[in-house]
């Protein structure tokens, strides 16, 4: 299994994100992925680094890790602009780029409206996602379609090269992944997981971190052994990638070191 990380992206300055990406390479992680939000969910007062600009910088700052969006939402930009941006990043990074695309959901609605971007219907967003995946596939760009709904899984199976789900437990992941792979048929197709994690050196250290950062629905929390058990269960369920979003990334220098230790054990 490949293990990647997200970055401390909800800041005014990019240096912490770039430093984290370099550290991810040094820690032996396989990929670095960026969010595509105008602000952190539910926190419009906070900043967010622009995903495509950040990926352009990462193309220079890294040499080995896979780079990708998790996920770029259709509708924030005209479809042609989104597709051309993904193609440009593919040209800059070669085979180490993955265009993760999604439709967004009710949680993103306020972001759109605040910037005057129409919030299209679900059916329209699904159709646009399918069309963007087709255009990128035809251009030789690897795509994952990200989301949990059955309708999105159908789009992923028919139009993308893979599917990503967020913050599900391993049992749910395995069932959903088996279903989407069946829909994809015999063609090459991968199923991937993303979610928030919080890892400590010891159980006491992990408990102290949880008190400091707070819990989240579906948070994977504990020691490296606990994270390894979670990753192994995902791999058994068919996950080729696990993209971890450490709550303390960019805050605790050990966050990527501990994630790297888990990744080494499941590689």
Backbone φ, ψ for residue 143 (5° rounding) = -130, 145
On whether the CB atoms of residues 184 and 157 are closer than 8 A, the answer is yes
pLDDT of residue 121: 93
Dist. CA 232–CA 58, nearest whole Å: 29
Which H or E run contains 109? helix 109-114
In the block, which residue shows the tokens 């269960």? Answer: 233
For residue 127, whether the previous peptide bond is cis, meaning omega lies within 30 degrees of 0, is no
pLDDT of residue 111: 86
Residue 13, burial from CB neighbour count under 10 angstroms (0-12, 13-18, 19+)? exposed
The CA-atom distances, in angstroms, between 236 and each of 162, 190, 206 are 17, 13, 25
Domain boundaries, given as residue ranges, for the chain: 2-189
Neighbours of 186 (CB within 10 A): 5
pTM for the complete prediction? 0.96
The CA-atom distances, in angstroms, between 6 and each of 33, 40, 168, 245 are 5, 13, 17, 5
Mean pLDDT by 10 residues, the chain (267 residues): 97 96 97 93 91 96 97 95 97 95 88 87 96 97 96 98 97 98 96 98 97 96 98 98 97 95 97
**Which CATH number applies to 2-189: 2.60.40.420, 3.20.20.30, 3.30.70.20, 1.10.10.60?**
3.20.20.30
pLDDT of residue 259: 98
Helix (H, G, I), strand (E, B) or coil at 194: strand
pLDDT of residue 40: 87
């Amino acid at each position: 299994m490949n293990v990647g990380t997200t970055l401390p992206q909800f800041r005014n300055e990019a240096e912490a994100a770039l430093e984290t990406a370099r550290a991810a390479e040094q820690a032996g992680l396989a990929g670095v992925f960026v969010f595509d939000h105008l602000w952190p969910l539910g926190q419009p007062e906070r900043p967010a680094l622009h995903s495509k600009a950040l990926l352009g910088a990462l193309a220079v700052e890294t040499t080995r890790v896979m780079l990708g969006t998790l996920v770029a939402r259709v509708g924030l930009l005209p479809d042609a602009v989104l597709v051309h941006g993904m193609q440009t990043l593919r040209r800059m990074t070669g085979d180490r780029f993955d265009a993760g695309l999604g439709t967004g959901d009710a949680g993103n609605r306020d972001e759109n409206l605040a910037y005057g971007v129409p919030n299209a219907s679900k059916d329209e967003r699904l159709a646009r996602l399918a069309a963007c995946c087709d255009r990128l596939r035809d251009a030789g760009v690897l795509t994952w379609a990200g989301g949990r709904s059955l309708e999105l899984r159908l789009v992923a199976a028919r139009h993308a090269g893979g599917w990503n789900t967020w913050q599900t437990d391993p049992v749910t992941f395995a069932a959903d992944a088996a279903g989407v792979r069946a829909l994809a048929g015999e063609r090459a197709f991968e199923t991937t997981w993303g979610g928030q994690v919080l890892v400590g050196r010891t159980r006491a250290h992990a408990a102290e971190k949880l008190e400091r950062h707070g819990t989240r629905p579906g948070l994977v929390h504990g020691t490296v052994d606990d994270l390894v058990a979670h990753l192994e269960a995902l791999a058994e369920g068919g996950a080729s990638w696990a993209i971890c979003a450490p709550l303390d990334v960019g805050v605790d220098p050990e966050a990527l070191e501990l994630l790297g230790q888990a990744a080494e054990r499941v590689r």
